[in-house]
Amino acid sequence: MKTRIFGPAVPGVAVLLALASGITAAATLDHVHLAVPSPIEAVNWYTEYLGCAPSNRQADAAACHGVEVVFSAAPTLGGTQGTGVNYIAFSVADLAARMSELEAVGVGGAGVRLQRFAGGSTFSDTAGPFRLAFIFDPWGTRIALVEDRDKLGFHHVHLSAADPAATMAWYRDVLGGVPDRLAGQVNGLRFDDAWLLVSGHEDGLPAPTEGRTLDHLGFSVADLDEAAPAMREQRVEFEAPPAVPDNGRSDAARAFIAGPDNVRVAVVEAGWAGVVRDEFLAAATPEPGEPYTVPRTPWGTPDLQGIWTGDAAHGIPLERPLDAAEIAALTPEEAAARRERGTLRSIWGYEREWRDTTLGFARDAPSTQVAMIVDPPDGRLPPLTPEGEALVAAAANADRGPPAGPEDLSSWVRCITRGLPGMMMPGVYNNGLQIVQSPGFVAIQKEMIHETRVIPTDGRPHLGPNLTQWLGDSRGRWDGDTLVVDVRNFNGKSSYRGSGANLTLTERYTRTGPDTLEYRFTVNDPTIWTTPWTGMFTFGRDDTQYELVEYACHEGNYGMTNILSGARAEERAQAAQQ
């Protein structure tokens, strides 16, 4: 039998067994190694959707029924497709039911993306010995789900090869895979309970796995020092010779060898427990040291100019979580996991390239700050006034019905503004902030919606109280090294957390290091809150890599027509029923 999905026909089992006399090492498939933004979130994802469990031997891995999926925080060049590892496969008892569950999850939140077959079906039962479906994890790893009730859990690794027969022979001779026929139909190699299958790559040599989401495959042998000489006799190329890594969690050795078809292969000894990995990103907050001397402009004011991003602050909640009352700061791993949760919640089907906060795209490590609010000291919003409570209740109970016109839609949908201080808040993308100064003025442009505020610093008074604006009226002054901006005269149409026309906002911009800009904002709306409150987070400077890109808001341009035409259609349908 020959099938493109499960692999081409290769020499029969009897022939393979006869050729297998040169096996040099009885290896087992120990792990597959993935590069992801947050190992914590990846363990959670594989546990929830693929039936794995947190590993007992290393915190950054999921135990998946005999094979571990190991995760490291590292940037990648993309997903698995086109590389020498076509996909990894898991088996479930009822594929139709499982795909129905995953389809209901969708790409929002968990980020489960499905690959549909002809006709729109989420699975196929016409190719190969099993029903088959494909999904992608949020980081680009292609995963097959098969319905094989005899082997639930991790099922097989499917390779793409320029020469499938030669590739199969290499894994047989070098690593000791046992030739067999999966379900009596498809030729492959067994490594204990896991299978390795191979099919032809349609476009010559596959791309390397190193640097992609699935970086390498890991096989385990009893004694690597004994296995290595026999591997060398097979002319195996060692990219890294057998050694115990300096940051290894055990005294088991590891070597890297070059597999066929650009597949990177690790060979580890029994007892391997992974390595302790260092964070590769720089922290967004400077280490304590000598006091920082803020540079000056030619006319003598503190120089805040440059391109900054709020990427590092993405994921910081406004309020301190109730279960984090005693936590001073998150660990770097917890911070990365928090940011990745925020990224996945806002995925909206976008690919990684859209998400500036994906690890490897952002220059700075995620902030370990627990919450933005720094006053009140408990990190929580102050109580609402009676009027504020009434306004919140009225908003919650408002009959929003079909919008009569554009004015009934939010300023976000209309691509007008995100308001203050909302426009400053970090999101999943478009976090750029550019500051330009001249004598008597500071211009601050935010990438999202491309709003530019030209702020006088020459002492002129505010506009009269009857002249209101979406972003209020800003006046700046210098307090030592800090730019203080007082904002008033809001029109109340771009509310932040319920604030209205009585809002006054005080912003403070302070360079705390060569590449860090602290943004502190105090919100005072006596109509809504009983006391003012203050938040803070840090922007990171990135003049060399980051640039503010065009904001066209095409979703809003097309969405407005569709929203209003849909509203009119809904009204006609309601009228017809009366």
The topology under which CATH files domain 13-269 is 2,3-Dihydroxybiphenyl 1,2-Dioxygenase; domain 1 (3.10.180)
Neighbours of 273 (CB within 10 A): 16
Q: For residue range 525-548, what is the model confidence (pLDDT) as tens digits?
A: 999 999 999 999 999 998 887 888
Reading the chain (578 residues) residue by residue, the pLDDT tens digits are: 233 455 544 444 333 333 443 445 579 999 999 998 889 999 999 999 999 999 998 889 999 988 999 999 887 778 888 999 999 999 999 999 999 999 888 766 667 888 898 888 999 987 678 999 999 998 889 999 999 988 889 999 999 999 999 999 999 999 999 999 998 889 999 999 899 999 999 888 999 999 899 999 999 999 999 999 999 998 899 999 999 999 899 999 999 999 999 999 999 999 999 998 755 444 445 555 678 999 999 999 999 999 999 989 999 999 999 999 899 999 988 998 888 887 777 655 455 555 666 555 566 788 999 999 999 999 999 999 999 999 888 887 877 788 999 888 888 888 889 999 999 999 888 889 999 999 999 999 999 888 899 999 999 999 999 999 999 999 999 999 999 999 999 999 999 999 999 999 999 999 999 999 999 999 999 999 999 999 999 999 988 878 888 888 877 778 888 999 999 999 999 899 98
Q: Could you tell me the CA-to-CA distances from 525 to 384, 396, 439, 532, 537 in Å, in that order?
A: 10, 20, 32, 7, 21
Would you kindly state where each structural domain of the chain is located, as residue ranges?
Answer: 13-269, 306-554
Q: What is the pLDDT of residue 340?
A: 82
Q: What is the pLDDT of residue 8?
A: 46
CA dist 281 and 279 (Å) reads 6
**Model pTM above 0.85:** no
Q: For residue range 176-199, what is the model confidence (pLDDT) as tens digits?
A: 999 999 988 899 999 998 999 999
Category of 140 on φ-ψ map: left (φ > 0), alpha (ψ -120 to 50) or beta: left
- Amino acid occupying residue 121: S
**Helix (H) and strand (E) counts in the chain:** 8, 26
